[in-house]
Amino acid sequence: MTQRAEIDAGSELDPVHPMSLPPTARRVPGLTTAEVAERVARGEVNDVPVRSSRSTTEIIRSNVLTRFNAIIGVLWVIMLFVAPIQDGLFGFVIVANTGIGIVQELRAKKTLDGLAVIGEAKPKVRRNGTSAEVSTSEIVLGDLVELGPGDKAVVDGEVVETDSLEIDESLLTGEADPVLKQPGDQVMSGSFVVAGGGAFTATKVGREAYATQLAEEASRFTLVHSELRSGINQILKFVTWLMVPTAIGLIISQLVVKDTDFRNSVARTVGGIVPMIPEGLVLLTSVAFAVGVIRLGRRQCLVQELPAIEGLARVDVVCLDKTGTLTEGGMDVTEVRLLNASGADDAYVRTVLGALGESDPRPNASLLAIKEAYPDGASWHCTEALPFSSARKYSGASFSEGGGRSSSWLLGAPDVLLPHGDPYLDEIDLFNRQGLRVLLLTRICKDLDDPQITDGSSATALVVLEQRLRPDAADTLQYFADQNVATKVLSGDNAVSVGAVAAKLDMPGATATVDARTLPSDRAEMADAMDEGAVFGRVTPHQKREMVAALQSKGHTVAMTGDGVNDVLALKDADIGVAMGSGSEATRAVAQIVLLNNSFATLPSVVAEGRRVIGNITRVATLFLTKTVYSVLLAILVVCSQVEYPFLPRHLTLLSTLTIGVPAFFLALAPNKERAQPHFVRRVMRYSIPSGIIAASATFCTYLLARSHYTGPDALSSETSVATLTLFLVSLWVLAIIARPYTWWRVGLVAVMSLCFVLVLVVPWLQDFFALRLMGTMLPWTAVGVAAVAAAALELVWRWVGRRFPA
């Protein structure tokens, strides 16, 4: 697992990681500027943009070319030939709605693409002998790409330099164990470095790269399940099958059976078909998601898959990695305690620690703190290095101290390096209980790649580090506790130490710490242990993955947060993966949500946006489906009764605008803190079906009463007017119920919609435009009375449904 540094000053290729090479050694210089330009001219560039959102063409196509837009478009063209322009208003409304949807999605795309550029990984490429960060799309064939812990291979290549380079290919091949790479070995795009470093030559770029051929699987391994998306698709499928036979029956009834004016029959037929289509439901769902993306973007939160907003709102367990999530990345060395048995003095130990810091070109947070505290080891020459690995829990190096002396050292977890029952462990436990991180420095007498490396080792010193708590972590943990969302800390550190940190943040269950090495391997038993515990230490990367799967097996919806390469596998398998912006490239690649500001406190905002979307779309969907139900039922009643359809398109356009279209737009974007509930389709249908039945029954009852009352050439217009009044009042009451709990603006919204309808009834030119004129007093008041009875029935049904099927 190590790579010895046997450097030949005259050799062109050097197996040591470039950053660890001594100044006298030569290394592969990479391509020259001229060679890069030549490859760009030939098109040998990694030009495969990984978009964080759909392209502009896809957005326009998905909003314009829909099944329902096609149906409405055909009906609109027909109406423009056979009826006045006011009967074609529904077409202009659809054009406006589609335009709004396109504009909002383009705004969201602009936000996403801007954030994606900020959070884009910048691979290090060596050109002209100098390393520099470039955009992924600027890599050319033959470039020398440098790798370090946490880096993701963005193109395929062949290893030319290695310093104990270990690459995890499990996301591509399913192989669990990291692969130790040697010069000449292949590197697949989409794999990532778990330990060590090196460099490889790009042999396949662009669409020839392995991960690109797997549909950019390295960036999008899973698609977030969206209950809203699948539920709305299910509803639309149901509506389509229901609409087709009903529309055919209505066409036959109005055009064949009834001996009326052809143009009027066509207009009323179209008037019966158009409201069956919930044309604004998909639009408002897209708008709600898009607005959520824009709002979160202002908080430096990159949502790489839109339904992830919804997914996090449904999460009931959040798994946290301590480092980088509960604590900030940096650490401070507070004490180095010499162990008496070693006989080493303080100055010598400081030199050893400094030399270990210098031996790793890309130190982790612990080693970086040591390197900053003890910069005294540069005089020692590193002859062999063993980079830190989350699976091993330690790193090591061998040194030539000068004067013919040499030594080998390990630095890592004391409970891994020391045998069980060692007396030093009790002393270390005292530090752990204070929430401090403790590393053991031990001198070894074996090679770094020896399987029994710790045999005969001499414990030399304890390095005590203090972790910096995130100031906002306690409030975020309290938020999740208040929302009945369980939090689990999965850390590679000592369990007692992690528990002490969690206790400082007042995390529920912080005292119930579990050493993950004692967890059962059986998934069911592990799931039970996960339910009981809250803080787990000494967790390996593959254990994190198993723990997430165990929680999911119990029916939990799991979110995983992290920033290190050891979190990648668990992030990929969790229902929602949340990565820190400063985290490794591999971590950001597999996460659905990236917190570019590295603030754990942003998560409540994401949850709030998800709840807003779910709650509001449920409300809006109930409005739209109520309209579909009463439209279909009215059409069926008309066909069975062999009467004229009571409405022209202009009437239903007016009703839809005032009781659904405008209110739904405001309701879909309003604040909503209701806890997300499952079974979207069932929740919508159990309210919309009885509401639609009541609305259709009340309206048709009023229409039949009006047909028996009015006579003469204007009878049909009068019958339509009172039927419209009843349907408006009943639909308005449905809106009033859905708008609860009331706030000043929701009451105002219902009041304004009522006032608009009153204006249509009293302003002469609006009466003529919409063909609405109430004749006499008895039938209008009868319409109001029928609507009042229907409103009372709505209240009874909604309350019964609420008690019978509680949320």
- Taken in order of first residue, the domains within the chain and their CATH numbers are 71-81+230-278+618-804 (1.20.1110.10), 295-326+470-606 (3.40.50.1000), 333-464 (3.40.1110.10)
Beta pairing partners, 488: 319
Check pLDDT > 60 for residue 184.
yes
Check pLDDT > 70 for residue 482.
yes
What lies within 8 Å, CB to CB, of 246 at 6+ separation is 276, 632, 635, 636, 639
pLDDT digits (tens, 9 = 90+) for 743-754: 899 999 999 999
- Kindly calculate the radius of gyration of the chain based on its CA atoms and give it in whole angstroms: 34
Would you list the DSSP string of 198-263?
A: EEEEEEE-GGGSHHHHTTSTTT-S-----HHHHHHHHHHHHHHHHHHHHHHHHHHIIIIIS-S-HH
> Cα–Cα distance between 695 and 673 in angstroms, integer?
30
**Amino acid letter for position 332:** D
What's the rounded mean pLDDT across residues 118-139? 81
pLDDT tier, 470 (very low <50, low <70, confident <90, very high otherwise): confident
What's the rounded mean pLDDT across residues 235-252? 78
607 and 621 Cβ atoms separated by less than 8 Å: no
CA angle 133, 136, 139 (to 5 degrees): 80
Check pLDDT > 80 for residue 341.
no
321 noted as active-site residue: yes
User: What tokens were used for 8?
Assistant: 């030949």
754 and 728 Cβ atoms separated by less than 8 Å: no
Beta strand 130-133 pairing with 186-187: unpaired
pLDDT tier, 533 (very low <50, low <70, confident <90, very high otherwise): confident
pLDDT tier, 88 (very low <50, low <70, confident <90, very high otherwise): low
Closest residue by Cα to residue 663 from 720, 611, 622: 622
Closest residue by Cα to residue 179 from 189, 190, 193: 193
Residue 9: predicted pLDDT: 31
Residue 731: predicted pLDDT: 93
pLDDT tier, 728 (very low <50, low <70, confident <90, very high otherwise): very high
317 and 509 Cβ atoms separated by less than 8 Å: no
pLDDT tier, 52 (very low <50, low <70, confident <90, very high otherwise): low
pLDDT digits (tens, 9 = 90+) for 539-548: 887 888 899 9
Q: What is the dihedral of CA 537, 542, 544, 549, to 10 degrees?
A: -140
503: number of Cβ within 10 Å: 16
547 and 539 Cβ atoms separated by less than 8 Å: yes
Strands (E), 603-691: none
Closest residue by Cα to residue 412 from 393, 384, 437: 393
Beta pairing partners, 198: 147, 162
Q: What is the DSSP letter of 419?
A: P
Exposed / middle / buried, residue 488 (Cβ in 10 Å: 0-12, 13-18, 19+):
buried
Compute the mean pLDDT over every residue in the chain, rounded to the nearest whole number: 80
Residue 18: predicted pLDDT: 37
Q: Which long-range contacts link 756-763 to residues 24+ away (Cβ below 8 Å)?
A: 756/658, 757/654, 757/658, 757/728, 757/732, 760/654, 761/725
With pLDDT > 90 as the criterion, what percentage of the chain qualifies?
A: 10
Check pLDDT > 80 for residue 638.
yes
Q: Could you tell me which residue, 47 or 488, shows the higher pLDDT?
A: 488
What's the rounded mean pLDDT across residues 22-40? 71
**From the DSSP assignment, how many helices (H) and strands (E) are in the chain?**
28, 22
Residue 223: predicted pLDDT: 44
Element (H, E) at 383: strand 381-389
> Cα–Cα distance between 552 and 317 in angstroms, integer?
9
Check pLDDT > 70 for residue 422.
yes
Residue 91: predicted pLDDT: 72
User: What tokens were used for 441?
Assistant: 């420095």
CB-based burial, 168-180: b 16+ in 10 Å, e otherwise: bbbbbeeeeebbb
What's the rounded mean pLDDT across residues 91-117? 72
pLDDT digits (tens, 9 = 90+) for 586-627: 777 778 888 888 788 888 888 888 888 888 888 888 888 898
Check pLDDT > 60 for residue 16.
no
> Cα–Cα distance between 298 and 255 in angstroms, integer?
55
pLDDT digits (tens, 9 = 90+) for 661-695: 889 888 888 877 777 777 788 888 888 899 999 99
Residue 785: predicted pLDDT: 93
> Cα–Cα distance between 134 and 122 in angstroms, integer?
5
Say what the pTM is: 0.69
Residue 225: predicted pLDDT: 59
Residue 176: predicted pLDDT: 58
Check pLDDT > 70 for residue 714.
no
Q: Could you tell me which residue, 255 or 479, shows the higher pLDDT?
A: 479
Among candidate residues 143, 151, 321, 575, the one labeled active-site is 321
Match 């009041």 to its residue by tokens.
Answer: 751
